[in-house]
Amino acid sequence: MISLPASAHPKLLSSLPPAGAQGAAPAVIELRFSENLLTQFSGARLTMTDMPGMPNSPMPIKASVAASTDPRVMLIKPASALATGTYRVDWRAVSSDTHPITGNVVFSVQP
């Protein structure tokens, strides 16, 4: 009998800023997973979901997704500084088991 290495779905272990955080605008958003990611199949979208004093629909924010030197980390770099408001990162993570896992992280930027 041949044994194969076990593979599990990647799980989000942490994020910077953390989910629910309120603070300064991050230059880079970091998502750390339990497994090495297949970067060609993984990704993220950044959306502003609320802006103080202005009712608005969710607004996509231009950002790039980059690999880190750590293959378990996904970096999201906004194209410009984030304004005061609430943001959601919708992520998709794929590891060696090739099953996509999705989730999101919400944080707020305050002046």
Q: Quick check: 66 and 75 in contact, CB under 8 A?
A: yes
| Domain annotation covers residue 90 | yes
pLDDT in tens, 39-95: 999 999 999 999 888 777 899 999 999 989 999 999 999 999 999 999 999 999 999
What residue numbers bound the domain in which 54 lies? 12-109
Supply the pLDDT for residue 95.
Answer: 93
pLDDT at 104 over 80: yes
| Helix ranges (DSSP H) in the chain | none
Using 50, 70 and 90 to split pLDDT, how confident is the model at 3?
Answer: very low
Nearest 5 degrees, angle CA 70-CA 5-CA 94?
A: 45
CATH of the domain at 32: 2.60.40.1220
| Domain annotation covers residue 94 | yes
| Domain annotation covers residue 5 | no
Count of structural domains, the chain: 1
| Domain annotation covers residue 66 | yes
Beta bridge partners of 89: 46, 105
| Domain annotation covers residue 3 | no
Beta bridge partners of 16: 30
